Structure 1
Amino acid sequence: MSSDDKLRQLAQECGIHLGYDAWDGSHQTTSPPTLKALLRALGVEVDTENAIGEELRARCSKRAARTLPVEQVVLAEEPFKFALLQPCEWYLLDGQGHEIQAGRSDVSLTLKPLPVGYFTLVARGPDHCEEVFLLSRPAHAPTIADLTGLQQAWGVSGAIYSLQSRTNGGLGNYADLGQAMSSMGQSGATYFGINPVHALGWAAQDTISPYSPSHRGFLNIDHIATDAGFETETNDGLIDYAAFRKQHRAALEADYARFCRNATTAERGKFEAFCKAEGPELTRFATFESISETHGSDFRNWPSQLRKHEETAPKPRDGFHAWLQWKASNQVEAAQLCAAQSGMALGLYLDLAVGARPGGAEVWMHQDLIARGVSIGAPPDQLSPAGQSWTLAAYAPNKLSENRYEPLRTLLRKLMTQAGIIRIDHVLGLTRSYWVPEDGSPGAYISQPFDALLAVVAIEAWRNRCCVVGEDLGLVPTGFRERLNASGLYSYAVWQYEGTPDGALRSAQDLRPFTMACFGTHDTPTIRGFWRGRDIEWWRSIGWLSTGRAMELHSARAIQRNSLRQHCSIPANATLDDVSHAIHRELGKSPAELVTVQLDDLLGGEQTQNLPGTINEHPNWRRPTAKDIEAFARIQSLIKTSTSMGPKRNPNAVLQEKEVDPCL
């Protein structure tokens, strides 16, 4: 066997794909330099031919020596049988290490039905002892019907940072969120979806993208409502993060100083209970934040003795950063309570970002599980011929499995306790990820433990009574969506992407039932922007399109508009308000179980919140809402949209005049 053959076989043993079918129909073969880069990312030694051969032999021998799988997904409340190669004595431990079953088996080992959760099977034979990690998953994650009794529902999506109020300083906060959800809940909305509110990091002063977090398991402190409000001037009508943060950070410091001086015994007890419940994760995160104040937001540039959390002692400012998380957590919980009191059955709909920044807290805290020298990204396509590197860290699947998915379990658990729905961004990453090596080698795909990851999502969703939406846009592998839906995860349908071969848009009646449907997202044009081709003009203005190509796209957009006129019965003289309402009305009549309308569409917005692929060319993540939250309850488009959603989605949408809302 040649050295390249050994390299390819080792790569396959580790789940690395030897090639993939590109967007243009060609087949891309994974080069030896890429294979080596991805193997190094997994912690595999490949520097010499001998090392490759030894790694291959060791892995093949280890696999052949196993008599039972390393991990096994089982269906909760159903018995499960393992075939045995030799007799063994065995016992089963629950998540707390308590023995709950035991026995001796010869030809097969049968487990009694298990509840939903995680377990460890230990089997001892004459000359071996093996452990099997068991993931006992529910038949499916909770559905809308399970949680609300509704067969169909609707909600609104927006950006928390864009919410405007008289005292929030220009950047939306968690108190604003509660007030906004209260208005929407009284109008019949079942949920309100916002951008990720993961921690960006105290020292990451230039980071504004919610999809570039420092740690996905902690909250963004930019959205904490301070004890005293303040005002910040906008910059050309856009959110000025630098000016806001300067005043907001000072206000947070003042609030903490008052807490330290004046907090009651009960308040201190609640804070201490929070820290105890959060445990070592919060301690390490707070220490990261403290160090970052002195040495910057990227731990890779810190002094060597600080780069590993195991070697780092607590810092004086840790208490402040832990208090910020307590404050944020309390305010998110209060916002969810406001939603519930308004009749909003699910309340918060939160986004889980694809990954964390390579130099941020999440990577610092879990370095042993992170793939080294690669970033999550996407292969070349028609818009990005060179491919994309998202500059986000990836967990190494082999190491994540060895650690029994603990970071993912913890992260999902925390997110799901805060929300009624979560959306997993780029859910295709549960089955395979595209890794881009930092050494300049082309990217390639690596398989993920799909069954186990899907089981973890279902288990945590079931435990926390939370619905899950998987953002499954793009090139979806055969059978992937079906398995996703069978596990209770909703698909995601963006109507302006639902095209037909002749360039038109499909009827909303053709949307898949087990889906969250919307017309657009923060990454696409709003309805008004779509109708006027604002996205095409942005692409042309920044040099992505020639004038000729832009005209071709405008012609293609005209075909899409005509199909929408037909599907939605839009007359030729319709105003843009009429167009928006007609599209929402048609979505409401679709078979999709969930329908989401954008807040920007309800408020008449024309520009998108984010133009993918840009940083400075477009004012991403900086557009405020057109109206203050105090006016949301009086927005006629919200009331009109609620009515058009129909009785199936809106059975309790009865506005009670003169009723005082405690959250306003």
Structure 2
Amino acid sequence: MTELNDDHAPASERLKQLAEAHGVSTEYWDFHGRLASPNRATLVAVLAALGVQARTEEEIESALREHDIAPWRATLPPTVVVRGGGASTVTVHLPDGADASLRVVLEEGGERPLAQIEDFTLPREVDGVLRGRASFGLPADLPLGWHTLVAEIGPAQGQPASSATSSLIITPNHLDLPASMGERGWGAMAQLYSVRSRESWGVGDADDLTEIASYLGDQGADFLLINPLHAAEPAGEMTPSPYLPVTRRFINPIYIRPEAILEVSRLSGPRRSLVQWAAEEVQESNLNAEPIDRDAVWKAKREALEVVFAAGRSYSRQRDFERFRAEQGEGLERFALWSALTEKYGPLAQWPSTLHDAESAYVANEAHSLAERIDFYAWLQWIIDEQLARAQAQALASGMALGIMADLAVGVHPRGADVWSDPQAFAPGVTVGAPPDMYNQQGQNWSQPPWSPVRLAETAYAPLRDMVRMVLRHCGALRVDHVIGLFRLWWIPEGRSASSGAYVRYDHEAMVGVVLLEAYRAGAVIIGEDLGTVEPWARDYLASRGVLGTSVLWFEKQDDGWPLQPEAYRRLALSTVSTHDLPPTAGYLADEHVELRERLGLLTDSVDHVRAEARLERERMLVRLRDHGLLEEQPTERTIVEALHRYIVRTPSALVGVALVDGVGERRAQNQPGTDTEYPNWKMPLADGSGEVVLVEDLPGNVRLASLLKAVREEMGQGS
């Protein structure tokens, strides 16, 4: 064998061919506008993560031959994904001369035989046997859904008859906006944990969500976008970022309001006192604007929840719990088991090595001994599911067209429940990040393992389906963070810098199709966060499927650097003034985004240069507002904020979002990209411009918020 050992050597042409064949891009445009290429070592490592060995010239040639012949070995592809409403073709590989039939077993019952169509493809020799190909037509009237293909192969060339099955997914061609929304809609955006009431337990929760949504619905809003509610660590230190969860399928029970659980009303006096005492430990923090302490909140809340759980349930309530548990199946049981093991042993790195394999007999023994704790963690999911259902029902009852808009993070914690429960779903030895850009010149490593595109196809995209289906249970819209991740992700081999990665392509037709199918069934709208480097064709593709994009006023500029005119915005988009990765608008206007980065040492250019750019950006925006008659000569901070929102309402965008922080005059950023412990990311409770806490009960009487919402309604043509 000829092994190539120079890690910095460029990739050979044959290695590039192999990489491209497996969906690994061998070229990309860097932030300087130059065409860049991953080196040999990067491509070898990324291919290894895909299960392809390419360390030597011999392995490369062998892998190329295998890739060419592999489809002929399989009778059917592992998964077939097609759009509904159009005819398509499925190919079957079989021994040369054999007869074949193909039928569809429909998800809702019944079967449809498929007609064979002419296919003049010549047979090929595979492992010493000639194999041919037969093609069958999929009719255009097959229903949307998750179906099964069944192939029956007759005997030939001394080989017995056989059969094979494959998954068939029929997806919507296009997702329409709901008729209830009309031509356009508007709504609010909030970090739920930050918006607390006097009765909260130190963080905003499902009860607060219900109240906020009901109030905004009465003000004419169509949706309330909140941060991801994905589950975090159940014990030990809880990761503050909602974008680094341990699972994206299940919910963080920190959002439960204990007193809203039905069983609390039936507790005995002493037990109810225990719940109240636990609440009192953390409720004082609702009244100060200091960073939120999730660990203290969860400690108090878990103590109370354990009291409620131990009190038991009525027969009918227990049956409801059991039905929920059966419906969620093995996924919920695995998550609850992981939670119980984490509670017992700490983080995964501290577990006995025998427990690292979720399928092992040691884990089965632990599951038996931890049965009661598993019940508890499954019960928490049932309770939060009930409370979120109530929030969505109340949001719709208040007049919202969409109700709650959920947020889907791009990935999960490398040592979380998803990776432990189903490690084969993730590519080994790599993490996800971003190549170098003007803001992060070393690139970014998000420390999140990517899904394996190979495994996704083999499992009929079950991890994606189950996750999206669960997130969409109680909401009318879903924002998909870093939606380009459905197309391609930057894979970084372990031990290498973030700049030493490569883009790996996913089957976006299948990935987007699965998301649309689940959204169609839930009656939900999909919004893709497509900020940053996203190829125009990808945006066009998403728009053609009915997926809305994301436009942020400060980022939308003409080629000359001036703000984009309102009429030039996209129709299929959620347009906003700001985003959670920037300070609220009041802080942005005061250059807080510059001052904060200077204090934290994050600037790559001189602070004077960055300040000058920020001043120019602001001055141009004010000129644009005056051009549109939206600003008086001596504007106040409040009138500028309102004018900016009137500006985006004048765009043709289907959805317009108003950040709750802008409504109350908050100035502090929720998140500063590029930092970890240097800044209290994802911990800031809602406060006004003077640093005074704003509670849920304060929202209806907040003059500044009322004025902003009135301005939005007037521009939307809803009157005052």
Q: TM-score, normalised by structure 2?
A: 0.85
Amino acid of the structure 1 residue aligned with 2:574? M
For 1:89, the equivalent position in structure 2 comes to 101
Deviations 1:235-262 (A, max 9, x none): 862212233233222222222223x2xx
Are 2:634 and 1:556 aligned? no
Deviations 1:90-118 (A, max 9, x none): 11122378533345555453333111112
For 2:111, the equivalent position in structure 1 comes to 99
For 1:216, the equivalent position in structure 2 comes to 248
Are 2:196 and 1:164 aligned? yes
Amino acid of the structure 2 residue aligned with 1:508? P
Are 2:541 and 1:492 aligned? no
The answer for unaligned runs of 5 or more in structure 1 is 655-664
**Tell me, what secondary structure is at the counterpart of 1:391?**
strand
Shift in Å, 1:82? 5.0
Separation in 2, partners of 1:88, 1:566? 71
For 2:703, the equivalent position in structure 1 comes to 636
Separation in 1, partners of 2:236, 2:224? 27
Q: Which has the higher contact order (CA 8 A, sep 6+)?
A: 1
Separation in 2, partners of 1:516, 1:528? 21
Shift in Å, 1:538? 0.6
Separation in 2, partners of 1:534, 1:472? 25
Kept in 1, the 8 Å contact 2:220–2:713? The answer is no
Kept in 2, the 8 Å contact 1:181–1:347? The answer is yes
Separation in 2, partners of 1:596, 1:236? 25
Kept in 2, the 8 Å contact 1:150–1:648? The answer is no
Kept in 1, the 8 Å contact 2:645–2:658? The answer is yes
For 2:532, the equivalent position in structure 1 comes to 474
- 1:414-425 maps to which residues of 2 (within 5 A)? 414-425=470-481
Separation in 1, partners of 2:185, 2:590? 29
For 1:155, the equivalent position in structure 2 comes to 187
- 1:246-325 maps to which residues of 2 (within 5 A)? 246-258=299-311, 260=312, 263-297=313-347, 299-311=348-360, 312-313=363-364, 314=367, 315-316=370-371, 317-325=373-381
Shift in Å, 1:340? 1.7
Query: Paired residue for 2:40, among 32, 36, 45?
Result: 32
The answer for unaligned runs of 5 or more in structure 2 is 5-11, 120-134, 157-161, 260-275, 688-693
Aligned CA-pair RMSD = 2.5
For 1:547, the equivalent position in structure 2 comes to 607
Q: Which runs of 4+ in 1 moved over 6 A?
A: 83-87
Task: Compare 156-165 and 267-276 and name the one that shifted more.
Answer: 267-276
Query: Paired residue for 2:685, among 611, 619, 624?
Result: 624
Deviations 1:521-574 (A, max 9, x none): 111122111211110111111122333333333333344433443355322311
Q: Given the superposition, is the C-alpha separation of residues 399 and 97 from structure 1 closer, same or farther in structure 2, using an over 3 Å criterion?
A: farther
Query: How many aligned positions are there?
Result: 647
Amino acid of the structure 1 residue aligned with 2:444? Q
Shift in Å, 1:75? 2.9
For 1:661, the equivalent position in structure 2 comes to none
Query: Paired residue for 2:148, among 120, 128, 141?
Result: 120
Separation in 2, partners of 1:66, 1:277? 33
Kept in 2, the 8 Å contact 1:642–1:650? The answer is no
Deviations 1:580-630 (A, max 9, x none): 111112222221110000000001111211111111222211111121101
Amino acid of the structure 1 residue aligned with 2:234? W
Task: Compare 205-214 and 83-92 and name the one that shifted more.
Answer: 83-92
Query: Paired residue for 1:58, among 31, 54, 66?
Result: 66
**Tell me, what secondary structure is at the counterpart of 2:472?**
helix
Separation in 2, partners of 1:93, 1:467? 29
**Tell me, what secondary structure is at the counterpart of 1:445?**
strand
For 1:187, the equivalent position in structure 2 comes to 219
Identity of aligned residues (%): 32
Shift in Å, 1:418? 1.5
Task: Compare 480-489 and 225-234 and name the one that shifted more.
Answer: 225-234
For 1:584, the equivalent position in structure 2 comes to 645
Amino acid of the structure 2 residue aligned with 1:142? D
Task: Compare 271-280 and 208-217 and name the one that shifted more.
Answer: 271-280
Separation in 1, partners of 2:624, 2:296? 42
**Tell me, what secondary structure is at the counterpart of 1:400?**
helix
Separation in 2, partners of 1:636, 1:588? 21
Q: Given the superposition, is the C-alpha separation of residues 300 and 567 from structure 1 closer, same or farther in structure 2, using an over 3 Å criterion?
A: farther
Deviations 1:105-152 (A, max 9, x none): 554533331111122333455668665543212231231xx2414110
Separation in 1, partners of 2:148, 2:61? 33
For 2:712, the equivalent position in structure 1 comes to 645
Kept in 1, the 8 Å contact 2:198–2:283? The answer is no
Q: Given the superposition, is the C-alpha separation of residues 17 and 130 from structure 1 closer, same or farther in structure 2, using an over 3 Å criterion?
A: farther
For 2:136, the equivalent position in structure 1 comes to 109
For 2:575, the equivalent position in structure 1 comes to 517
Q: TM-score, normalised by structure 1?
A: 0.92
Q: Given the superposition, is the C-alpha separation of residues 635 and 403 from structure 1 closer, same or farther in structure 2, using an over 3 Å criterion?
A: same
For 1:465, the equivalent position in structure 2 comes to 523
Query: Paired residue for 2:512, among 434, 454, 478?
Result: 454
Shift in Å, 1:278? 1.2
- 1:225-240 maps to which residues of 2 (within 5 A)? 225-227=257-259, 228=276, 229-230=279-280, 231-234=282-285, 237-240=290-293
Kept in 2, the 8 Å contact 1:491–1:514? The answer is yes
Deviations 1:637-663 (A, max 9, x none): 444334333479565x88xxxxxxxxx
Kept in 2, the 8 Å contact 1:182–1:342? The answer is yes
Separation in 1, partners of 2:91, 2:359? 41
For 2:126, the equivalent position in structure 1 comes to none
